[in-house]
Structure 1
Amino acid sequence: MAELSPLGSDALCHRCVPDRLPFDTTADLKDLDGALGQERAMGALKFGTDIRGQHYNIYALGPSGLGKHLAVTNYLRERAAGEPIPSDWCYVHNFAEPHKPRALRLPPGNGIRLRLSMASLIEELKVALPAALEGDDFRTRRDAILEATKKRQGEMFEKLQEDAQAQGVALLRTPIGFTFAPAKDGEVLTPEQFQHLPEAEQKRLQATMEALGSRLEEVMRQMPRLEQEQRAAIRALIREVTTHVVDHLFADLRKAYTGLAVVLDHLEAVRRDVIENAHQFRQADSEGEHMPALGGEDGEMATALRRYRVNLLIDHSQSNGAPVHFEDHPTHENLVGRIEHLSRFGALMTDFNLVKPGALHLANGGYLVIDALRVLTQPMAWEGLKRTLRARRVRIESIGQILSLISTVSLDPEPIPLDVKVVLVGDRQLYYMLSALDPDFNELFKVPADFSDDMDRSDEGVDRFCRYIAALQREEGLAPLDRDAVARVVDHASRLTEDGRKLSIHRRALADLLRESHYWAEQRSSPVISGEDVRHAIDAKIHRADRVRERIYEQIERGTLMVATSGAVTGQVNGLAVTQLGGFSFGFPSRITARTRLGRGQLIDIEREVKLGGPIHSKGVLILQGFLGARYAAERPLSLHASLVFEQSYSGVEGDSASAAELCVLLSSLAQTPIRQSLAITGSVDQHGRIQPIGGVNEKVEGFFDVCREMGLTGEQGVLVPSSNVQHLMLREDVVEACAAGRFRVYAITTIDEALALLTGCEAGERDAGGAFPEGSLNRRIEERLDAFLAAARKFAQDPEPGGAGATGATNHHA
């Protein structure tokens, strides 16, 4: 096997060459048309908004900070500008069922017109009706009715009194009413005088008074009827006067809304109610009769007249195209609307004027954008949204009503038909969870718009990316970037993707980098952001977050964490791990050791045994057992007991990126061959010994480089990485420079045998035609060691305890 050479500097980082960029600064570049690298997502958005089928709502999925919301909103606004303006919606009083306000659908701009018309009508009625009902003509006619009633009442009493006088009886008024008494010559007789009258005269007078009493009762019974007729006549008079005034005021209003049947129907209902309740408009009359007061909101009249108002729920008088509404706080009430209350006289009161719209009302006829996580974390909001989308109408209900926690009578506004496209914006994991766990989700949100977080780093891709950076710079109001600065941003974008052939299009991360680079340019009083400013911004951001990394490297340098970067040790290798704290990731070496002895084919993962190893790590260790059995003991027992551990690891271990290191250290222990501690290795391994790619390769290489630099670079140190990870390398400039100067090395490996040869300095060896490994090779040493274990195991099986029980017992036990 030929000796592997370290990778050249060109393979360690795919640098963007500033001289190849066809501009001086980003001020020379035009803005990018459309969303960068989002062809799939934008196609899904177009499909979801074009199709008219039911429930083709959209879920825009992708990482947070990618710019999904901005891309979705910009697309929807551009599309909505060319779409029809939806209807206005108003709530008005329902005169038949006051607790069920009516919803009026009106052409755009007519809602505000109707509200102003009704407000003007109320003001006119507040002036015209009192004037008519308090005018001289009305008073004269009313007084005539009152006088006529008094006259009829007087005539009835006068007739009764005349008849009584003719029969010698007087009609007397007492504090408790009317009564009759005997009289002579107009004078009422005393009881003594009455007793001196002849008996026949006494009987006649008594009979006469009884008959007159019956007539008096009849007259008194007619008094309420006369008063009723009087009130009816006054009401008829009020109706006549009111009808004349009201019909005159409503005539022009009807003409203004000809063709709008719902408005004409409502106006007719208002007209009838005004005529029926015209007394609400009267002031206190001259006799001091208490009437409702005119005036402010606290007056009884103002309260009564609220039912003639128009509650303009949705106004599109100033709209251009369909609405695009983003609901930042999607509670249940903010989505479907709410009914507010006023405190009056210690009680909470409400009416249709206090019905307030929700986001679904505001977006009706257009598009509603909601953050998926926020709507899911609000009580009843998700269920309310689904229920509304299924019913395709918005019903305003409080959570208390939905859960039957409130039994008091409240408003039940007429539901409003719903025609809206809802776009949920969230991450991918949430989308997949909803798809799997909520049976309604896939029915209601049929269109996923999957936003990518990277794009290909082709020549065309770099050109578009530079224009995207220019657009971001102008949007943020930052200084332009020169070509060196843009090249550094391109390299950093590849670094963010952990792939030299890709570019990150994570909007938040790129915008933060530009803002921080602008800051450092300002510190130099430079009108242009340079490459050095971008480097400074990247380094400063790392420095703000790398306290823990520095402490770990310090502990390694001081020997508290025992990691060797020189010498050779059997059964010990430097593995590489990556950790993330907040938004900062870094790599560091870990000492992995293995011990082997005679056993029964057991491979002990100490991390798993103490429950510090995750399932993926445990899977990697079990793969090692499969590799050992297949290569060295395919047709015989594997008489081995081995243990593996991450030394000085006191937290969990997860992932299989250390499985190649674990296999190498295990084979080193079996072969009794030391491993060079100047090298570290990362990569996973399969059962055939092939090295597989891993994540965080840049951080791992840089982590070992930093430790070696602190301990002193000798030119022998380096890292072994999977060859399939070479395309992902975007190493720091100082690492690349050290490799170019021969002070550090990075090797690409494809098999475990290549790794063993580099780590031990010995050829691994391959089986010849006879199936034997070459003499002196690592694999030959391992096989011989395992053969020795097997022989010892057989010998032990025959005589497990010298001087003890013979072979019979041992043989039975072995069987």
Structure 2
Amino acid sequence: MNWISEYRTSRKLTADQLTASCDLSQFPEVTNDSDEVHEKEMIGQERAEKAMAFGLGVKQSGYNLFVVGPSGTGRVTYTLQTVHRLAKERPVPNDWCYVYNFEDPDQPFMITFPPGNGLGFKKDMEVLLLDIEREIRSAFTTEEFEQEKRKRIESFKSEVDKAWRSIDQFASDKQIYVERSPEGIHTYPMKNGKPLTNDAFLELPEDERQRLLEADQEVEDQIQETVSEIRKTEEELRKAMHTFMQSIVSYAIEGLFRPLREKYQDRQRVLQYLDAYFDDVVEHFSLFFPEHDQQEQLVTQLGGPKEKQFLRFTVNLFVNHKERSGAPVIYETNPTFDNLFGRIEYQGQIGNMTTDFTKIKPGALHQTNGGYLILQANELFSNPHAWGALKRALQARKVRFEHPNENRGMLPTTGMKPQAMPLDVKIIIIGSYMIYDILSTIDEDFVKLFSVKVEFDTVMERDADNTMKLFSFIRQYAIEERLQPFHREAVAKVIDYSSRMVNEQNKLTTRFQDITGILVEANYYAVQAGDDIVGKSHIHTALEEKELRVSHIPERYREMIKSGRIMIDSDGYRIGQINGLAVLGSRDSVFGIPAKITAQTFAGKQGIINIEREASLSGQFHEKGMLILTGFLSGQFARNRPIPLSASITFEQSYSLIDGDSASSTELYVLLSSLSGCPINQGIAVTGSVNQWGEIQPIGGVNEKIEGFFHICRERGLTGSQGVIIPMQNIGQLMLHDDVINAVSKGDFSIWAIEHIAEGLEILMGIPSGFTPGVEAESYPDGSVFQKAQKRFDDMYEAMNEEKD
């Protein structure tokens, strides 16, 4: 059997093949060669960098960006760095102000200014308002105004007195006495120049009484006519005084507006506003009088408190870029509707909710107009109405003020409709693949609006360039976070761990969040030990402790195997029994465990009975693997006749769903063992899928599977004949722990890599398989596994025919 020993050795992997190791000579001895801190460099994301540069560089609408990739790959950090760097080179956008619309107060309009000038305009309007108040009060305290006012009022009083004298004379001629008092105007009949009492009036002759009544009526009619004329005269006086005072105001404030018109002569919108402002001040000049000023009795007052009315002359500096250099960038971590699109604030007043244009507040879209807005997809889509409103804004290229819940009566309604702001902003959404795929499928507008996909990968090539970049990243992070410097052996250990994280010898992870976690933890153990430099041993401790914190479940599994509650054999030979390997995952760990697979074969036509399937514990991929086994067995042993096989196969002590085809080669081994009667070495576990030609195919979780079986063997005592068979294609994914590598180096544990089922049979059973891949044979060599299996098939076929006869 020496040739079998040689065969096993030829498929056995050396310790050097079980991991990838850094060349220490490429690194400085420690990372603290300089305290200079540089901007972090993106590592291993060339595709994402190109897409980001393209998306940010295109000016046309619709080229917004959606950044996808797992958390921890640096997608947020890189996005912020890139956008901020580009924003510094972009011009500062204009300022925006909301001002009162004197023609339609419910529709305040916007005025735009060069960056920084909006605040200047606001201050100009504040100074203007103070100057107007001062000039108006001054104009109405001059001697000329007082003289003209007295003249007009005295003229009015003279006309009134003349009218009342005329009434008194007319009444006297009619023997009627007119009495004017605060309570009103009363008339009384007279005799001998004196008013008559009621009794005296009743004593008069009938004809006299009738004459006096008629005279009294004539006087009252004359009084009504006179009062009406007086009121007309009073109204004419009021209008004349109002016009007179307006002319005074117009003359007084005209000089205040002239320099502003010159200053803003190139801004037509401002000139229109100043004209409307001027006309409104002239029209409502009484607002600038003190409350006790009696002139207010002569003019029409606007409704509401004076302080509120003065708001019409203020400026709402909506967006101010005075202190900014470059385009604005906002990373909105809480993209609620109001935070994105602004809001109109309300104030309770006598049981009502009121507002005005000064209570219009900007959102992130207004503040980043002309710049960049960065959002997290999870947060955006967790806020009702936000996505729909964002789409409408991007499609219309305007930001309108909306109340999403107004129609439901959840917010006070208002007739105010502020003018919409033209929108020119680059939106960058950061999210997962799942959200991107869902949006691409269900929302036809999504791809039109976010046509640039920036994809961050989780792996990068393990070449000299990326290795040195990772070294620089570790060094930079240690400086920024004030960690101890790292020895190059520690750095190499971290880089090797990076490959372990992606299960690829020639790849490195780009999930730097996990890398920094190890750096922080190793630094902790170095400080605890009183060491000034983080060494390889500290990295090793950090990794061990990290694994220990999440190893409760795998330890429980191993305890049950050790105690015999889960029955796993790790030595000896058994027919129809083999150790397969499975990977289980908890919330924060992935680990491998062995699983006993058994098979029974017998004559019949039922084919292979998958007990898991019958118990509804088999997934679709596992079912596919079982069907492949039937194809292989039929092709090898029943090409020209029906396969006379009934078999049952199961995962012993398995009570949960089993899926995947990584155990299909294991199941084929155990079936061939049962068919041939050849026992399988229980110290060897197997993983790998198989196709209908018997070729072994790669699987996932190879490191966890090997280590899971190794732990069981080590706890029971390594014999030197134990090991794991894996697919040849998985060699490049081996990044095994040091304890496994050391055991392999000593010959206490073995790992074989194979390409065909025949190779695995010879390693497992210690006898020739009798099968040569690619060569069809009518019969197999005596004593081989396939010859024994073929004989068993022949016997079952004959038994089936005898039973039929």
Q: TM-score, normalised by structure 2?
A: 0.93
- The equivalent position to 2:24 in structure 1, one of 18, 21, 30, is 18
More moved, 343-352 vs 169-178: 169-178
CA displacement at 1:714 relative to structure 2: 0.8
CA displacement at 1:138 relative to structure 2: 4.7
Report whether the alignment pairs 1:227 with 2:234: yes
Matches within 5 A, 1:155-304: 155-166=162-173, 168-173=175-180, 175-179=183-187, 181-184=189-192, 186-188=193-195, 209-285=216-292, 300-304=305-309
Distance 1:67 1:122, change over 3 A: same
Matches within 5 A, 1:627-706: 627-706=632-711
Report whether the alignment pairs 1:3 with 2:13: no
Matches within 5 A, 1:513-524: 513-524=518-529
| Secondary structure at 2:578 match in 1 | strand
* Cα-to-partner distance string for 1:526-558 (whole Å, 9 max, x where unaligned): 232211111111111111111111111111111
Matches within 5 A, 1:442-453: 442-453=447-458
Match in the other structure for 2:621: 616
Letter in 2 for 1:782: A
Matches within 5 A, 1:309-320: 309-320=314-325
Letter in 2 for 1:54: S
Match in the other structure for 1:809: none
- Unpaired runs of at least 5, structure 1: 293-298, 799-815
More moved, 146-155 vs 412-421: 146-155
Once residues 548 and 358 of structure 1 are traced to their aligned partners in structure 2, the CA distance between those partners, rounded to angstroms, is 48
| Secondary structure at 2:469 match in 1 | helix
| Secondary structure at 2:580 match in 1 | strand
Distance 1:402 1:691, change over 3 A: farther
- The equivalent position to 1:756 in structure 2, one of 740, 746, 761, is 761
Kept in 2, the 8 Å contact 1:571–1:674? The answer is yes
- Unpaired runs of at least 5, structure 2: none
| Secondary structure at 2:89 match in 1 | coil
Letter in 1 for 2:13: L
* Cα-to-partner distance string for 1:428-450 (whole Å, 9 max, x where unaligned): 23222222222111111111111
Report whether the alignment pairs 1:52 with 2:56: no
Kept in 2, the 8 Å contact 1:29–1:470? The answer is no
Once residues 290 and 583 of structure 1 are traced to their aligned partners in structure 2, the CA distance between those partners, rounded to angstroms, is 80
- The equivalent position to 1:578 in structure 2, one of 580, 583, 605, is 583
Once residues 336 and 777 of structure 1 are traced to their aligned partners in structure 2, the CA distance between those partners, rounded to angstroms, is 78
Match in the other structure for 2:534: 529
- The equivalent position to 1:62 in structure 2, one of 63, 69, 79, is 69
More moved, 18-27 vs 59-68: 18-27
CA displacement at 1:250 relative to structure 2: 2.7
Letter in 1 for 2:607: Q
Matches within 5 A, 1:60-139: 60-130=67-137, 132-133=139-140, 138-139=145-146
Once residues 297 and 648 of structure 2 are traced to their aligned partners in structure 1, the CA distance between those partners, rounded to angstroms, is 100
Match in the other structure for 2:366: 361
Kept in 1, the 8 Å contact 2:335–2:383? The answer is yes
Report whether the alignment pairs 1:477 with 2:472: no
Distance 1:96 1:796, change over 3 A: farther
Kept in 2, the 8 Å contact 1:340–1:350? The answer is yes
Once residues 92 and 47 of structure 2 are traced to their aligned partners in structure 1, the CA distance between those partners, rounded to angstroms, is 29
Match in the other structure for 2:502: 497
Once residues 298 and 746 of structure 2 are traced to their aligned partners in structure 1, the CA distance between those partners, rounded to angstroms, is 102
* Cα-to-partner distance string for 1:610-660 (whole Å, 9 max, x where unaligned): 222222222212211211112221221111111221111122212211111
Letter in 2 for 1:418: L
CA displacement at 1:212 relative to structure 2: 4.0
The CA RMSD measured in Å over matched residues stands at 2.7
Distance 1:152 1:515, change over 3 A: same
Once residues 428 and 201 of structure 1 are traced to their aligned partners in structure 2, the CA distance between those partners, rounded to angstroms, is 110
Once residues 645 and 671 of structure 2 are traced to their aligned partners in structure 1, the CA distance between those partners, rounded to angstroms, is 11
- The equivalent position to 1:420 in structure 2, one of 409, 422, 425, is 425
| Secondary structure at 2:760 match in 1 | helix
* Cα-to-partner distance string for 1:345-381 (whole Å, 9 max, x where unaligned): 2322112222222221122111111111221222121
* Cα-to-partner distance string for 1:174-230 (whole Å, 9 max, x where unaligned): 64424263443x434567877999999888766655544433232122122122122
More moved, 634-643 vs 192-201: 192-201
| Secondary structure at 2:405 match in 1 | helix
Letter in 1 for 2:262: K
Once residues 295 and 422 of structure 2 are traced to their aligned partners in structure 1, the CA distance between those partners, rounded to angstroms, is 51
Once residues 196 and 515 of structure 2 are traced to their aligned partners in structure 1, the CA distance between those partners, rounded to angstroms, is 118
* Cα-to-partner distance string for 1:77-127 (whole Å, 9 max, x where unaligned): 111111111111122222222222212222111222222222333344455
Once residues 721 and 196 of structure 2 are traced to their aligned partners in structure 1, the CA distance between those partners, rounded to angstroms, is 149
Letter in 2 for 1:172: E
Distance 1:188 1:377, change over 3 A: closer
Distance 1:247 1:687, change over 3 A: same
* Cα-to-partner distance string for 1:732-765 (whole Å, 9 max, x where unaligned): 1111111000011111011111111111111111
Matches within 5 A, 1:343-492: 343-401=348-406, 408-492=413-497
Letter in 2 for 1:21: F
Q: TM-score, normalised by structure 1?
A: 0.92
Distance 1:673 1:112, change over 3 A: same
Letter in 1 for 2:535: S
Distance 1:239 1:183, change over 3 A: farther
Distance 1:54 1:200, change over 3 A: closer
| Secondary structure at 2:643 match in 1 | coil
Report whether the alignment pairs 1:793 with 2:800: yes
Kept in 2, the 8 Å contact 1:56–1:447? The answer is yes
Once residues 124 and 110 of structure 1 are traced to their aligned partners in structure 2, the CA distance between those partners, rounded to angstroms, is 21
Kept in 2, the 8 Å contact 1:172–1:181? The answer is no
Kept in 2, the 8 Å contact 1:601–1:637? The answer is no
Once residues 17 and 291 of structure 1 are traced to their aligned partners in structure 2, the CA distance between those partners, rounded to angstroms, is 96
| Secondary structure at 2:8 match in 1 | coil
Once residues 521 and 305 of structure 1 are traced to their aligned partners in structure 2, the CA distance between those partners, rounded to angstroms, is 68
Distance 1:717 1:769, change over 3 A: closer
More moved, 406-415 vs 192-201: 192-201
Kept in 1, the 8 Å contact 2:406–2:413? The answer is no
* Cα-to-partner distance string for 1:673-707 (whole Å, 9 max, x where unaligned): 11111000111111111111111111111111111
Once residues 193 and 587 of structure 1 are traced to their aligned partners in structure 2, the CA distance between those partners, rounded to angstroms, is 128
Once residues 285 and 140 of structure 1 are traced to their aligned partners in structure 2, the CA distance between those partners, rounded to angstroms, is 20
Match in the other structure for 1:296: none
Match in the other structure for 1:734: 739
CA displacement at 1:163 relative to structure 2: 4.0
Once residues 258 and 137 of structure 1 are traced to their aligned partners in structure 2, the CA distance between those partners, rounded to angstroms, is 35
| Secondary structure at 2:7 match in 1 | coil
Letter in 2 for 1:619: K
Distance 1:389 1:288, change over 3 A: closer
